[in-house]
Structure formats: structure tokens, C-alpha cells
Amino acid sequence: MSLANAPKPLATVLVANRGEIACRVIRTARRLGLKSVAVYSDADADARHVREADEAVRLGPAPARESYLAIDAVIEAARRTNTDAIHPGYGFLSENAAFVAACEEAGIVFVGPPASAIAAMGDKSAAKARMESAGVPLVPGYHGDEQADEHLKAEADRIGYPALLKASAGGGGKGMRVVERSEDFQAALDGCRRESKAAFGDDRMLIEKYLTQPRHVEVQVFCDSQGNGVYLFERDCSVQRRHQKVLEEAPAPGMSDALRREMGEAAVRAAKEIGYVGAGTVEFLLDADGRFYFMEMNTRLQVEHPVTEMITGEDLVEWQLRVAAGLPLPKAQDDLTISGHAFEARLYAEDPEQDFLPATGTLERFGLDLAGAGLDAERVRLDSGVEAGDAVSMHYDPMLAKLIVHGDDRDQALATLNRALSALDVAGVITNRAFLQRLASHPAFKQAELDTRFIEHHHDSLFAAPRLDAQAYAAAALVAIDRLQDEANADSPWARRDGWRLNAPAAIRIALTHPAHASDDADSVAIVTVRAEQPMTNNDWHLHIGDDTLSGCLQRLDGDAVAITLDGHRRRLLARTERTTHGDTLILGDAQGETRLFWRRLDAVDHGHHEVDATLTAPMHGTVVALLVEPGQTVEKGTPLMVMEAMKMEHTLNAPADGHVESFHFQAGDTVGQGDVLVEFAPSE
């Protein structure tokens, strides 16, 4: 049945979102014969979702508050384009009851549940109380109204540690902290309240017993306005960092049919309890003993919905649009079956090596050559909101794309995921691609030994510094020398012809450190001594690393590509350099993946110990949230000095050594640019 003849006829749908989800909704809308309308902020005027929609309307300036979260602007855009229905995607206005009411008032269909259902689940505390009375099992904890600091502390002490603080209004892992000890409670509470206030304008908290080895298993439910409800099975989303999902799969490994039915039925009960309509997800923690506890219900389409689509063969956005048009669910429970296994990997612009710090920049390359990698297009799906040439800005979530694969069984799907991750070609912005590969090929993940602290538990094997040989260090040193030459040339333009070498000292020493060793002692630093032999005939350098001596040269090719020849063996690599708070970073990529090293040029005289940077610079554009120490106050290495916020997450800058802060250059509330000096730090002797 065409949606134009449905009880609530739909001809035009506006997507009040950006990035991959906007593109994904537009795709289905187009297939169903609907006209699609995109909306955009100034930062996104030329973004992919704008390019793909039939029409697009500007909302306002880059900050989400003034664009994607501006209810009036979105409603006005819908009016201007004769929109019948608004799809909110996830995040932004998707779970905003006031927005649903505004749609209703404007006579526009909201593709999602009624405002009352959003309100019932929007507040985690209230939702828990309601689910408790409906007989859905809960994690032991406190979700009351009394919010005084001392009261919350007393409740946490009663529940016991580790305890988990969560923002009542929270979502997306924000405003959430594990508290290990009673002494740490107040600091964690302050941080959570700040983050929650900033993200949700609300700082009420709830506390739960922190389960130490649970799995995150969630059930996809769907209800129509005729009172039908079904579950489309479960997803396991246990692999998380900062309480945010990284790898998801469906079905959840090791589920018995009985448990699947029990959880599915509990989820449908939860949805019906609140008069739910549309797509929703009921999240549970599944304990090792097979008991499950309600965590929350997300009243929208989830990021990870494609794994459910892969195993059921259904298009969930189509289901959403049909239900929004007043049609009944396309299928009944007994008509739904699971076929094979699916994974989703989330590609983030972030640096796993630096505690998953979000990254910005311009994507020089972005693509997946399926045919080249021998992959079946039916089995691999790349849901992306970006293309090569696009900028990744500080304003929005750092997720770039999702890679989704399907296989006949888990092993086959996992093999496909690994192959597809290798074939994903991204350059220009730091991403977690290589980290995803390490996760997807990790023996414990292969064995489906899952729990929500998977990344923490396997930290050492996931982040182990690779054993680099003299060749790798020599290649890195050649790139470093190349950059030093560049700098020298930039300083004196007329020296370009002669180059830097004429004035260069006879030997230059480059220190290279793997990020996994950055805080370790001097033993983990590789020092390469580079000599230009006189007279120079063939551009060769002599490189000494420990007992090894190699001769080599670097030739620049297109873009980031370089050819490095060492003792007559030439290899093509991609080489980039970046500046971070931890130092200058060098990134070398080849078919096997990337190697990242910190590098610096050592002075002629080496003092034999690490120098500590006397300044701390902003790792990215953002806002200063709080200064945590007084200038002059003596601190130990690792003490938090200040908190910044960027890309909707807080980041703490820690003391690089024992010492004291000489001065802060910014106050709370100030905006800072990447590389700005934030703190003058004086290490003690």
C-alpha cells in the first residue's frame, strides 16, 4: 500500500538530523516514493545529507542549540516545504516530548512514539519506578527525588561499591561515572552533575549497583497504533568505551530460545505499559547467571538498528514510516525469523591511543572498495554521513560511519567484518579503524566472551605496543627528517634551493616513542641517529639505531604517499604528522594498518632524562569547563588540572609530572582553539 493513500497520507518527510542517519532515512524515503527534506546548520551547508535530499532548509548557526535542537526552526522548515512527517533520527530532538507536542500543534506527523511515552521513559528515575510496578526486573539502586549531595552519598554507601552514578535525564553515556570508593563519591558527583547540566540542562542523579561482568543485551520492539506489538529479537552491545557502544551484533551469542522469548516478551510488556507506538529498544543488563535487568527504554531508532535489519530482512525505517502513516505492523510475531548473524562496527573520528579523544580535520580519503576486497555487496553495508573532502568539525558527535556485515553464522560474519575493516580506506582524520580491527580479531571476541568492560579487561592486549624493528624506526626517522627540512625551508624561503642540509649538523638525533609507552621510562624510547654522509651523492642518509646501521632515503609521492628505500628495499607508505598535547605524532600506514609514534628532535647534548613539557595545549577546539587546582598549588603527576568539553564529552587535562601550575590562560566558559596554550606548568626537580 502506498503511503500516499494511508490513513495519514504521507508524501513528504523531513529528517531533523544530520550525518549517516539522515542519509539512511532519506534512502528509504526515496525507495517508498516520498520526497525527502534535509535540514542543516551553517557547518553542514555542503554536508552529504544535504546533497542527497530532494530539498534542504537552513536551520541556523553551527551550534546544535541554534540549529538541530531549535524546535521552532525545524517546524518552520517543515512548513516551508509542505512536510507531512518529521523523522527525528537518533539524538538531537528524537526523545524530546516538547518537540513531539510542537509537531502535533503544527499538524505534522512525528515519526515516533506519542509524547506521553517519551516522557514516561525520558526520565530514567521515573521510568524505573514505572517498570518496577509493571513487574520488569531492575538493578538494585536509588532513583528517588531527594537529591541532596549527602543523601545521594548515603544511598551509594548503602548500595555499596562499585556504584554507578547516572544522570536521570541522561543518554549516550553522558553524565555517567563508576565510583569505586566512598571517598571518590563527591568528586564523581560533581563531574556528573556538570556534564549532565551541560548536556541535558538537568542535574538529577540516580545510583545503581555496578554489576561487574554483565552483558548489554537489548531488544528491538515495534508497536502500531492498532495495539499490536512485536519484538525483532535482540542485539548484544557489550563492547563499549566510555559506556558508549563500539561493536554490536545480532543475535546475541549463546541465547537460548527460552531466554530470547522471555526477554522479548518482557520488552513488549514494557512498551505496552506506556502506550508505545513505533520503534523502540528496551535495554537490559544480562548477568552471567542468565538473569536480566531492565536498564532503560530508548524511544527512537537506535544507531545499531542495521544489525537487526540484516538478520530479519526488514527495513525498520520503512516500518516506522508505515506505522506513522497509521498502517498496522507489516508482520506478526510468528512471521519474524532470524537468519544468520550480523555485526556493526562504529567508525569514530577519535584516537583510541589517547583515551578515545575526539579528532577533527578534513577527510582526504574515505571509501570502501568492495569488489577490490572480494566482498559481496549483499553482505556488507557502509552507512555513512561523509565522503572524501568533507570536514569533521567539533560541533557534533564524532561518529563518521557504521560498517555492517552479514554472514551465515557468527564466524563467517566476523571474518567478513575483519576483511571489510581492512578494506576501509580513511585518511586525513584520526579514526578508530585500526582499533576496531584489533577488537574484531581479538581471540576473546572470537570466542564471544563478552561483557560491558570487554575493552578494559583486554586493555593490555588491545593496546600493546607493536614490536617495531630497526626498519620501522628508520622509516619513521626519515619522515621526521623530511618534516624538519620542510620547517627549515619554510623559515627561510631563499634557502629552499640549497635545502636545509647545507647548514645541518653532521648528525641529528630523533627520539621515537610508541603511544602505549609514552608515560614509561626512557628505555622505551628509540633513538635514531641520522647522518648525512659528505659529499652527498644520492640523497642517502645513514641511520644508526642501536647496533644497526641502514642507509636510506625518502621520496615524496602524491598526497601523503612516500616511498622509503632502506638498503635497497623500496616500500610505499602513507605518512602524516600531527601535533597533540602529548607531542608531535607521526603516522605511518601500509596495507597492514597504521603505526603511530611520538617523535622529537633531541638537542646536541642529551641530558639523559625526559624533559617535561612546560605547557599544556588544547587537544582540540572546545570550551573550558572547570579549573581544578589553584596556581602555585603543588600537585602530583596525573592530578587533574582542568576540564574541557568538546564534542559533547568532558576531557580532563592532567599534570604531566610532579610540580605546580604557574598560570592558567583561560577561565571556565572560555572557548579555546586546538593548540592554544592552556596551562603553564612547572615540573619540580
If we measure between CA atoms, which residue out of 316, 297, 296, 298 comes closest to residue 306? 316
Tell me if 528 sits within 8 A of 510, measured CB to CB.
yes
CA–CA separation, 227 and 234 (whole Å): 22
User: Which region among 30-38, 168-176, 319-327, 664-672 touches ligand ADP (by CB under 6 A)?
Assistant: 168-176
CB atoms within 10 A of CB 372: 10
CA 112 remoteness from chain centre: 25
Tell me if 528 sits within 8 A of 566, measured CB to CB.
no
Q: With left for phi above 0 and alpha for psi between -120 and 50, is residue 112 left, alpha or beta?
A: left
Nearer to ligand ADP by Cβ, of 139 and 655: the residue is 139
Say whether residue 216 binds ligand ADP (CB under 6 A): yes
State the catalytic residues: 300
Nearer to ligand ADP by Cβ, of 242 and 509: the residue is 242
C-alpha cell at position 233: 529479537
Own/partner long-range contacts of 273-276 (Cβ < 8 Å, ≥24 apart): 273/130, 273/131, 273/134, 273/136, 274/116, 274/117, 274/120, 274/121, 274/130, 275/114, 275/116, 275/117, 276/113, 276/117, 276/221, 276/223, 276/229
Q: With left for phi above 0 and alpha for psi between -120 and 50, is residue 158 left, alpha or beta?
A: alpha
Say whether residue 122 binds ligand ADP (CB under 6 A): no
User: Which region among 172-180, 368-376, 554-562, 662-670 touches ligand ADP (by CB under 6 A)?
Assistant: 172-180
Say whether residue 172 binds ligand ADP (CB under 6 A): yes
Smallest separation (angstroms) from ligand ADP to the CB of 539: 54
Say whether residue 650 binds ligand ADP (CB under 6 A): no
Count of residues engaged in binding ligand ADP, rule: CB under 6 A: 21
Smallest separation (angstroms) from ligand ADP to the CB of 431: 22
Nearer to ligand ADP by Cβ, of 210 and 445: the residue is 210
Smallest separation (angstroms) from ligand ADP to the CB of 451: 9
Nearer to ligand ADP by Cβ, of 136 and 386: the residue is 136
User: Which run of H or E residues covers position 88?
Assistant: none
C-alpha cell at position 649: 564529552
- CA 448-417-649 angle, 5° bins: 80
Say whether residue 171 binds ligand ADP (CB under 6 A): yes
Nearer to ligand ADP by Cβ, of 21 and 510: the residue is 21
Smallest separation (angstroms) from ligand ADP to the CB of 666: 29
Say whether residue 295 binds ligand ADP (CB under 6 A): yes
Smallest separation (angstroms) from ligand ADP to the CB of 251: 17
Say whether residue 675 binds ligand ADP (CB under 6 A): no
Say whether residue 91 binds ligand ADP (CB under 6 A): no
CA–CA separation, 45 and 393 (whole Å): 13
Q: With left for phi above 0 and alpha for psi between -120 and 50, is residue 467 left, alpha or beta?
A: beta
List, in sequence order, the alpha helices (H) in 398-518.
Answer: 410-423, 433-440, 443-446, 454-457, 459-463, 470-491
> What mask of x and - would describe binding to ligand ADP in positions 481 to 500, judged by CB under 6 A?
--------------------
Nearer to ligand ADP by Cβ, of 211 and 363: the residue is 211
Judged by CB under 6 A, the residue of 91, 112, 113, 170 near ligand ADP is: 170
Say whether residue 296 binds ligand ADP (CB under 6 A): yes
Nearer to ligand ADP by Cβ, of 171 and 407: the residue is 171
Site for ligand ADP in 147-166 (CB under 6 A): 164, 166
Site for ligand ADP in 222-251 (CB under 6 A): 240, 243
Site for ligand ADP in 297-316 (CB under 6 A): none
Judged by CB under 6 A, the residue of 283, 350, 353, 560 near ligand ADP is: 283
Tell me if 169 sits within 8 A of 204, measured CB to CB.
yes
Smallest separation (angstroms) from ligand ADP to the CB of 462: 17
Site for ligand ADP in 173-212 (CB under 6 A): 173, 176, 208-211
Smallest separation (angstroms) from ligand ADP to the CB of 140: 9
CA–CA separation, 565 and 553 (whole Å): 5
Tell me if 469 sits within 8 A of 397, measured CB to CB.
no
> Which residue number places its CB atom closest to ligand ADP?
452
Count, residues in the chain: 685
Nearer to ligand ADP by Cβ, of 138 and 525: the residue is 138
Nearer to ligand ADP by Cβ, of 285 and 325: the residue is 285
Tell me if 111 sits within 8 A of 319, measured CB to CB.
no
Smallest separation (angstroms) from ligand ADP to the CB of 238: 7
CA–CA separation, 382 and 613 (whole Å): 41
CA–CA separation, 92 and 98 (whole Å): 12
C-alpha cell at position 512: 621515537
Q: What is the DSSP string of 575-627?
A: EEEEEETTEEEEEEEETTEEEEEEEEEEPSS--SSPPPPSEEE-SSSEEEEEE
Smallest separation (angstroms) from ligand ADP to the CB of 566: 46
Q: What is the DSSP string of 555-584?
A: EE-STTEEEEEETTEEEEEEEEEEEETTEE
Smallest separation (angstroms) from ligand ADP to the CB of 2: 37
Judged by CB under 6 A, the residue of 168, 220, 452, 580 near ligand ADP is: 452
Say whether residue 20 binds ligand ADP (CB under 6 A): no
Judged by CB under 6 A, the residue of 57, 78, 121, 139 near ligand ADP is: 139
Strand partners, 176: 166
Footprint of ligand ADP (CB under 6 A): 139, 164, 166, 170-173, 176, 208-211, 214, 216, 240, 243, 283, 285, 295-296, 452
